[in-house]
Amino acid sequence: MAKHQSKSQPSWVDVKAKLTAFDRTALLDLIHHLYAAHKDNQAFLHARFGLGQDVLEPYKKTIDRWLWPDVFRNQDTSVSKVKQAISDYKKAVGDPEGLTELMVFYCEQAAGFCRDICQQDEGYFDALVRMFEQALKSANTLPTNGRDGMIIRLDHVREISHAFGYGVGDDMDFLLAKYTRRSG
């Protein structure tokens, strides 16, 4: 019979206490096992250390899979899995340009799927509009040369979204005007 612990769930504090007893070799071995255990751990470490050609690729694959599923294979969409992938990238690297790229890519994929497959899920549309706003906010933190390209891509998403109904295009019109006002 398993020993009953007074605490219901171990926390980071408990793990950290155990790790203090590890030497360098033991820590490397632990990280190696975590690396081998799951592709998400590999993506995290590759992104954190800037390894590989494109550290955004595994995150984009996840976004593509869950926002533009293969409907002929009865695959579903999952906004939560996509948001988790973006959050994982943010934790691994936190690079504002890469984060904005993932948000804009999310908008492009979601809008493309809706256009091509005639997606009519109001929750999916709401999530798209929320991500559109986050992407605009994030793009505005970038230097002009990075920001302008992102805004152009988001404007294209806005144009596509006018065909969806549910006020998606109108909401995006409002948000684009709100976050791209130019003084002058």
pLDDT in tens, 32-85: 888 888 888 887 888 788 787 788 999 999 999 999 988 889 888 899 999 999
Of the pLDDT bands very low, low, confident and very high (cuts 50, 70, 90), residue 14 is: confident
Q: List all residues 6 or more positions away from 106 whose beta carbon is below 8 Å from its beta carbon.
A: 63, 67, 82, 86, 131, 135
pLDDT on residue 160: 94
Q: Alpha-carbon distance 159 to 156, whole Å?
A: 5
Domain ranges of the chain: 22-179
pLDDT on residue 10: 87
pLDDT on residue 65: 94
Report whether 85 contacts 63 (CB < 8 A): yes
In Å, what is the CA distance from 173 to each residue of 39, 85, 91, 132, 163? 38, 27, 31, 11, 13
Report whether 161 contacts 176 (CB < 8 A): no
pLDDT on residue 139: 96
CA nearest neighbour of 163 among 128, 115, 131: 115
Token pair belonging to 5:
């612990």
pTM comes to 0.81
pLDDT on residue 150: 96
Of the pLDDT bands very low, low, confident and very high (cuts 50, 70, 90), residue 15 is: confident
Q: At what angle do helices 57-67 and 96-117 cross, to 10 degrees?
A: 30
Class of 22-179 in CATH? mainly alpha
Per-residue pLDDT of 74-122, as tens digits, reads 888 899 999 999 999 999 888 999 999 999 999 999 999 989 887 778 8
Average pLDDT, the chain: 88
